[in-house]
Structures are given as structure tokens and as C-alpha cells.
Amino acid sequence: MDGVIALYKERGMTSHDCISKLRKILHTKKVGHTGTLDPNVDGVLPICIGQATKISEILMQSGKIYRGAITLGVAYDSEDLDGNLIEQVPVTTSLANDQINAALAKLTGDIMQTPPMYSAVKVNGHKLYEYARKGITIEREPRPIHIDHFKQIKPSTYDATAKTQTIYFEVGCSKGTYVRTLAVDFGKQVGLPSVMSDLTRIKSGGFDISQTSTLAEVKAAVDDQNVKAVLHPLAEALADYPIYQLDDSRWGIVSHGGFLDQSICPEKAPVVRLDYQQQVKALYKFDETVGQYRPFRMFLA
């Protein structure tokens, strides 16, 4: 059982909860996720099974896309609605579209972001949220992230009673981006307190939300002895890499972890997928120092 389950993580569950439940459903310990999703966030959580656990880190490096909402006029210590209200400023005049779009545009491209206190980033051996729960604020170093796009997906709404305005957005971002912090930074751009009031991940690890399966659907597939219905094979998960079909001779070299010359990919792509008899057997990475491709990830079992 080797492949990736594009799990639809429901709200109220941790990523660890999903792993634990899948291990029981699939009767295997070789299960690993590709980065966590906060309990109050739903959406795509790729889960690697069997040999595919070797590509967890690769899938984690891929960009992610989220859809959500930013509410202006209120701020929370956790940067989402799970925390405590710490600031409230009435929005007396709602922002116009051009103001919203200009502020979103300023938060695109290569930017620096300071991790929030309520995060799992470690400082001096302790996670930031452990300090935050004790009321301690730690100095954090900003980190480089990349924002592909940050745009409105429908007209904003104004709540005249609460005097808040809610912006509905889609963001494409690199690994390590805190969308909660982007929401807060958006508020800073327009001079108002803000909070991420809703979030769904719609793409991660090359899988979009239309390809996901719930835990219940995975269990039903296993019960029906049809796990293939929810398991995306390695070939699909690694479809973006150039493919080289191994002959018997080169398969012999690869099966013993040997190097291959540049002829397997004259374009000298950084990583090449090696298939043998219609099965993915390895990823090989080009080594400039020796001018050859060497083992990067092996799937020989």
C-alpha cells in the first residue's frame, strides 16, 4: 500500500488526530503527513502511506493555496478567532475595492514575515505557543516567504451592527507562511485591527480539494477492499518530474544505488523520476561535483 491520500481534514481535528485514525483504518504504521493544519482550519491534508512517506518532505515544499476571510475592526491574540479579543476599533466607513486590492498587492512577492506567538516555532527548546500561554512574548526573527497571489474572491461585506468589515480572499503561498499573520498584516496596511476569521486550504502537495477524501470515505473504501479508490499512486504524486524509463541494464545499476550519466536527461533537470516496468523506482538528483545523477529517493520495495 504505497501512495498518497489527499485527506479532507475536517475542522475540530488536529493533523495528529488524522494520522492516528488513518493508522487504525489502514492497519499500518507507515503513515506521515506533509505539514500540519490548525484544528480550526479545514481542507487538503496530503497523507503519505508506505513507500510514499519518503516523499513527505518533497510534498511539504510545494506551494499551498487557501481561501478565507479577514475581519477588520477586531484583533485577537492568536490572530484567529480561537484566541482572546485584544483590540476593537469600529469601522465607520467600509474600505473601497481599490483600497483593499492595493493593500493585498503590497503583501505579494518575496516578503518577510514574523512568526506569530501562537505557533509551533521553537525558541530555546520551547514552542512559541508554550510561551504565549504563559503570557510571555518572545522576540522573533522575521523569515522570508513568497506570496504568489493574494486577491479578493467576492465582494466584502459590512456589518453595521458590529461595525466590522469582512474581506474574502484567496492566497497562494510558500511553505512556512502563516496566513493568520498575513491577515493581521493586511489590517496594518489599512490602519485597522484585523483577524483571520475563516480559512480553508484548497491545494497542497499538488492535490486540490476536488481530489480529497474524508476519513469516512477512506474507511468505506478499506471496508470494501477498494483502497485504490482513495489512494493516489506515487506516479501521480510525482507527475511533475521528468521521467526516464529504465532498461534492464540501468535498472541493475539503480537497484544497487549506482550513479547514472547525464544522458538520462540531456536538459539536466535537477531531479529525474526513474520508472521500471511501469513502476516508479527512484528519484535521482543531479550532482554538479561529479556531473552525474545520484540517488535522491528510492522506492525499490
Active site amino acids: 38
| DSSP output for 96-128 | PHHHHHHHHHTT-EEEEEPPPSSS--EETTEEH
For the chain, what's the residue count?
301
Number of DSSP helices (H) and strands (E) in the chain, helices first:
8, 17
What is the rounded distance in angstroms from the CA atom of residue 190 to the CA atom of residue 12?
A: 31
d(CA 271, CA 247): 19
The grid coordinates of residue 197 equal 476569521
Sign of CA dihedral 202, 207, 209, 215: negative
CA distance 13 to 166: 25
Three cell numbers, residue 221: 473504501
**Three cell numbers, residue 98:** 481599490
Q: Sign (positive/negative) of CA torsion 21, 26, 29, 32?
A: negative
From CA 101, how far away is CA 103, in angstroms rounded?
5
Say how far apart CA 150 and CA 158 lie, in whole Å: 20
